[in-house]
Amino acid sequence: MKLGEIYKLAINMGIEADPRGKEEVFRYLEKIKKDYEELNEKKKARFDKELLENPYSDSRILNGKEDQIIKGILVGIDMEVPEIVLADKLREKGERIDLILAHHPEGKSLPGLEGVMHIQEDILFSQGIPINLAENLMGNRIAEVSRSVHPANHNRAVDAAKLLGFAFMNIHTPADNIVTKFLTELFAEKKPETIGEIVDILLEIPEYQDAQAHNFGPKIVNGSEKNRCGKIWVDMTGGTSGSKNAYEKLSVAGIGTIVGMHMKEDHLEEAKKFGINVVIAGHMPSDSIGMNFILDEIEKNGVNIIPTSGLCRVKR
């Protein structure tokens, strides 16, 4: 496959699984194009034109040309300088590695987290929170994330990939969309009645079985196994953690249980305060599920996949 084909495949799979629905994503892209056309020439020159086609600003080609042929990929959840050095050592031992593929953002994708967090406004709306409240809840949190990632050393890993001659790319929100859709549909099919049944369903999935074997499997952090779960919300996409002030509104909207990848302590305290059960499915296995669906499609095209850095590779 060409590097550009892998990139477009991942973005399109993310759109297909987007919790907003494909039509809403396309409306969003049309709005971005309209806004771009209204800019003056100086602002157009500075505009990130990838946003015209890719709705996920946290998922990008970070090094390499789109027409580059990719036959081997080293892929993991976090691919930073140590993993790039690992790729070089593997190449010395005869492995064909053309692309280093990360899940978590690096380079210009890291400040792009801010852009995808607006997805959470639509997700909160879909759970019964009025859109004006959802936008108000997310506004301060998006600004906080923007400030927190701004001083980071964004290009450290990108610079290493350039020096060692690797193409470099990351796929974040598309993969998170996919695991969110996968689990939401699974719970809708299985209809668990208790928190314990949610955990049992998760442990039928190979990635969570592997995590459990390594002592970081699914964990109930609020509620008990016998608690009835009520309405389940799978909260695994939208860049990073949302607003801790959303839990009261979610409780009023009827959410009984949140199934997430992870949860900050101040968020958990709010969930406890408003009686929402919380199951932490696990960060690495959840990210692995989303990435694995994309990797399956890449592998069908004859590309060799070498997993590392927290990725539990499972083929479906």
CATH number assigned to the domain comprising residue 193: 3.40.1390
**Residue 312 resides in a domain:** no
Residues 72 and 134 in one domain: yes
- Say yes or no: 106 and 195 in one domain: no
Q: Are residues 149 and 296 in the same domain?
A: yes
Q: What is the pLDDT of residues 114-127, one digit of tens each?
A: 999 999 999 999 99
> What is the pLDDT, as a whole number, of residue 301?
97
The total of structural domains in the chain comes to: 2
∠ CA 76-262-200, rounded to 5°: 95
Q: Tell me what pLDDT residue 13 has.
A: 98
Is the distance from CB of 113 to CB of 145 less than 8 angstroms? yes
What average pLDDT values come out for the chain (316 residues) when binned by 10 residues? 98 97 96 96 95 97 98 98 98 98 97 94 94 94 93 96 98 98 98 98 98 98 97 95 94 97 96 98 98 98 98 97
Which residue type, as a one-letter code, is found at position 252?
V
Q: Using the Cα atoms of residue 39, residue 22, residue 122 and residue 51 in order, give the sign of their dihedral.
A: negative
Same structural domain, 167 and 47: yes
**What's 117's domain CATH number?**
3.40.1390.30
pLDDT reported for residue 236: 96
Reported as a single tens digit per residue, the pLDDT across 198-236 is 999 999 999 999 999 999 999 999 999 999 999 999 999
Place of tokens 């083929």: 315
Length of the chain: 316
Task: Tell me if 68 is assigned to some domain.
Answer: yes
Domain that holds residue 192: 179-283
Strand partners, 222: 278
Q: Is residue 313 part of a domain?
A: no
Q: Are residues 269 and 294 in the same domain?
A: no
Together in a domain, 302 and 250: no
Same domain, 249 and 294: no
Instruction: Please tell me whether residues 218 and 154 are part of one structural domain.
Output: no
Query: Terminus-to-terminus CA distance in the chain, angstroms?
Result: 20
For residue 14, what pLDDT is reported? 98
Please tell me the predicted confidence (pLDDT) of residue 110. Answer: 96
Using DSSP's 3-state secondary structure scheme, residue 221 falls into: strand
Q: Is residue 314 part of a domain?
A: no
Q: What are the helix (H) ranges across the chain? A: 3-16, 22-37, 41-46, 81-92, 113-116, 119-126, 131-149, 156-164, 173-190, 195-202, 206-213, 246-252, 265-273, 283-299
Check whether residue 15 and residue 146 sit in a common domain: yes
Residues 150 and 19 in one domain: yes
Element (H, E) at 251: helix 246-252
Beta bridge partners, 243, equal none
Whether residues 28 and 129 share a domain: the answer is yes
129, 145: one domain:
yes
Phi, psi at residue 301, to the nearest 5°? -95, 15
